[in-house]
Amino acid sequence: MKSQSVEECEEILRAVERTRGLDCELIHQTFLDEFVDKVHTYQRRLLTKS
């Protein structure tokens, strides 16, 4: 499996924000919050490796 770069993580986070705009009834809010937390954790790991 290919690792993501910090820039790709930023792109993913922007996509999540666009997705939040579509989730008008907040049905997926918890999932999206947890996903964003995981992406941020992954980004921190990438930055500490550098």
The model's pLDDT over 1-50, given as tens digits with 9 standing for 90+, comes to 467 898 999 999 999 999 999 999 999 999 999 999 999 999 999 889 86
This prediction has a pTM of 0.84
3-state secondary structure labels for all residues of 1-42: CCCCCHHHHHHHHHHHHHHHHHCCCCCCHHHHHHHHHHHHHH
Please report the pLDDT score of residue 12 as a whole number. 97
Please report the pLDDT score of residue 49 as a whole number. 80
Please report the pLDDT score of residue 50 as a whole number. 61
Please report the pLDDT score of residue 2 as a whole number. 60
